[in-house]
Structures are given as C-alpha cells and as structure tokens.
Structure 1
C-alpha cells in the first residue's frame, strides 16, 4: 500500500483507465507500435516508452550479479524437481549472466547439450557442451521438437509479444519435454519492517514509479500470475506452479539489486513525477539499512510438459 492509501492493483486500474485506447502497450493499446527492443527508454509521466528498460545501462553486469544471487537457488531447486539430468538437450532463453546455463551444462554432462540465447550475449560464455547464440525469441525461430527442457527467467513479462514468444518455446519442446518459466508478480512487494512510516512510504513511491516504467515499456507486471493459464492455453499438460517470496533486509543481494535499478533508471524514475532525486538518494541509504526489510517480488515458477503422442 502506498502513502496515499492506494494498493498497487488500484494504481494499475487507474493507469489503464487514463491511457488512450486500451491501456499500456502490451495490454491492447493501439495508439502506437511497440519497438520491442528500442535502445534506451526515455519517457516522462504520461508518455508510453518502448523496449526493455534496463537494456542499455552500464550497470547491467551488477544488475545480473545480484539477480543471480537472489534467484538462482530457487530456480535451481525447480530445475532439480524436473529431474534435469545427463543427456538432456536444453535451451535457456534470455540467459543474461549465464549462471543457469552453466549449471545446466554441468547437469547434462558430456552426453547432453545446452543452447543459451539472448539479444545481448555479452554476459554469456560457451563451453564444450554449451553453445551461445545471439537470438531474439520474438523474431527468431528455435528448432522444432528439439529440447527436453526450455527455460526462461524474467523474459516474457518484459515482452509485449509474449504470447508469440511463448508459442515458439512450446514448439521447441520434444514430446514429453518440459517448459519452465520463472516470472515475477511485480505488484507484490510489501515492506516488512522499516525505521519509520516515512521510510515505508518512500519505498512505496519508488516501487510505484518502477512499476509505472515497466508497464509503460510494454511489460505485464503481473505476468507471473497469468503464466499458468497461458501454459494451459498452449496445450501443455502436467502444468504446475509454485510461488516464492522471502525477506530482503537492507544490504542483502535483493536490496542491492533494487539499489542498482534506482541508479540505472534515475532520470526515468524522476520523470514519472512520483519520486524526486533527493528521495532517490534517501532510498539508497534505506536499502543499505539492516533495520529496513522488504519482501522480494512474488516469484512464480510455472512448468508444463508437451504431451506425448498417443
């Protein structure tokens, strides 16, 4: 809940009502065409942006490092539950910093293979059984019926054409192969403990501004909760999901990740009119304060299997 008493879902409804012709890009807007991977995001309050908002930052390596520290243990636990093992052929879509591709390479061994793709392969490294490919999941094909596992983490929520990308991932599965998506519900990020009410309200303004930017770039900030139905609609079977949230105390990897985000997007955050540069400086101090604790985003792992022929 924010300082003015609104919940994030109420804010999203208000924003949809005030956006011309159907809401933010990716939610039925028809007033402009989305440039899905536009370089830079720019934008001010009331102006819809295009592209992945973090893409061009010189802090991208730091962002990836803290993201991996925060999410890898949970992601690996989900992969282990699918019994990924020797001989599997896997693709990691949007591999980012490469930590999951490396883990998969070790897991599948010499008899398996991992293809890791991204639109920016600067954070990726190949190995004897790991191939790196420059690839855009919206526009570029994957081999049909090739993989025992397709994995994507925090990819589809950022894509306005997520249904098209998802269909491509499903087609890449062998019969019996698994798709695993790890996505956020960004609307969930309550403050668990704060030095005072003002600190809690400050974080709420930052979170609201960040969600505003993401939605304006074409992201679906609640995509994680919609992934289950999306996998069913693609005809996958044995669909399941598990939601995870944990405490992020000040100076934890999660809070350092948010700190980096605040630097990456400083001008855009200020441009929303929801937070000032002085408040962002105060926020960064708060994110290093061990008496401040915020819940992580609700991280939802959703999996399903391509049906085998009868």
Structure 2
C-alpha cells in the first residue's frame, strides 16, 4: 500500500490534477516568475503530477536551460517534450536527487504528505546553487469555511466529510497544518529572503474547484466509511458539491519562497 492517500494509480487522479492545475497554476506561475526565472536556468520540479508547471518552466528557461520533473509515479506526465525537459520516476524520500546546483527548485503539495518532510526540505535546500531559490507551496487543510449553503444541514455535512478525509490523511502521515509551518521550517533550514503569499478563492457547486473534493472523496470512499461516514452521507455530499447554491472557500495555498545564501559553497 502506498503511503500517499491520493496515489496516482486512482482513476480519479486525472480529475484531481485538472482541478488543481486550473485553480492553482496561474498563481503558482506568478510565484515562480517572481524568483527572476529566466532563460538558461536549471530547474527541478518535485512531484510534478500532470506536468503542467514543469512544461511551463521549460518554456521559460528555453532550450539553453534545463527542467527536471520528478514524480513517484509519472504516468500522467508521459508525453512528448523538448530535449531540455525530462521526466524521472523518483522517490524524494529514499532516492538521491538527480543532481544539484539548481537555480530553482519547486514543489507543490508534496511535503504535506511526507512524514520525513523536514529531512526532504534539507535535501532540497542542499540541491540549490548559492543564491538559488526554493518555492514550496502547501495547503492549510483546516481552513475551508462554507460561504453559502442551500440549507442549514449542508454546511455540517460538508464539514463532517472533510473532517473524516483529514483524519485519513493524518493516519498516512500527512500534516494538515503544514502550510502554515513552511515559512518557519524554511528559515530553520537556513534560507534567507523569505516571503510568503496565500491564495484562496470561492468554489461554487458544480464548478471546477469542487471537482477536487469530488475526486478526493471518491478515491478514499472506503477510508471515509472507516471514519463513520455513511453511504447516504457520501451521496448527499456529492450532490451538495454539484449544487450551485453551495459555495465554499477553496483550500488556501500558502506559497513560500526563500534563497540559499549566496556566500555558501
């Protein structure tokens, strides 16, 4: 059994990647551009998922640069790419990084799921060249307020199912509060020039964003039942996510950028 609750073998993976990319890629691209990303840079995209951000990085660095996209199971990134963008099957916990001296290292929603997150963070920092930038983007999974609901019980139902899902995540070693801890962790890892930006938006029933909740709940339905969620509750939960009278705050993505001190070797 994989240690990741939402492993890439699930049939729901494509829908989950679609929701994440549609809702968060524009923000992530802005954060990456703020590092000074330029032609010729060497970049590492850890846990590349569907590969959308790695491909975008490849466009920015051009053929004179280099982008490596890694994932534990890269089946969703298998497609033709230019020679300067490569995809590697890689376990960030147990396997050495392909190389070091990167100008930019980026990981979105990766360390949240890894119990060894602090050790992995140290390895990502060590992979940077002096002056290189690390961008970590993680959810604070605990802040998902319901903004509008068709009736009084709907918000309670949503919160019940989400609480069960977070319980399942934590049983697999995830830290559902990791997003708010990243800034301090990166400072403790020796990075400087730290800056954080949080992105969130409203997600209305039937829209792209709540598709993430549909996919997650369907992939871990058995685990939700273990937490006491009934079949009727799951059916009503999915119906609620399709109801345009329902609106919830998106999962807030906290993006933190830091640099390896330029004087280091």
Q: Which TM class, normalised by the smaller chain length?
A: over 0.9
> Residue in 2 aligned with 1:141?
96
Moved over 3 A (4+): none
Residue-pair matches, total = 261
Confirm or deny that 1:204 pairs with 2:159.
yes
In structure 2, distance between residues paired with 1:191 and 1:159:
28
Partner of 1:157: 112
Contact kept? 2:15, 2:211, Cα under 8 Å: no
Residues 144 and 173, structure 1, Cα contact 8 Å, conserved in 2? no
Alpha-carbon distance between aligned partners in 1 of 2:206 and 2:162, rounded to the nearest angstrom: 17
SS of match in other structure, 1:96: coil
| 1:291 alignment partner, one of 237, 245, 249 | 245
Aligned residue number for residue 29 of structure 1: none
Match of 2:38 in 1: 85
Shift of 1:196: 1.1
Output the TM-score relative to the length of structure 2: 0.96
- The CA distance in 1 between the partners of 2:208 and 2:43, in whole Å, is 28
Q: Shift of the alpha carbon at 1:238?
A: 0.2
Q: How does 1:9-88 map to 2 (within 5 A)?
A: 38-39=1-2, 51-55=3-7, 56-88=9-41
Determine the C-alpha separation between the residues in 2 that align with 1:255 and 1:145: 38
Gaps of 5+ in 2: none
Aligned mates of 1:127, 1:260 — CA distance in 2? 31
Whole-Å separation in 1 of the counterparts to 2:188 and 2:62? 33
Matches within 5 A, 1:241-280: 241-273=196-228, 275-280=229-234
- Cα distance in 1 for partners of 2:230, 2:30 equals 39
Deviations 1:235-277 (A, max 9, x none): 001011011111001112110111111111111101111x211
Relative contact order, CA 8 A, sep 6+: which one is greater?
Answer: 2
- Unpaired runs of at least 5, structure 1: 1-37, 40-50
In the superposition, the TM-score normalised over structure 1's length comes to 0.82
1:254 aligned counterpart, secondary structure: coil
Shift, 1:143, TM fit: 5.0
CA RMSD in angstroms comes to 1.2
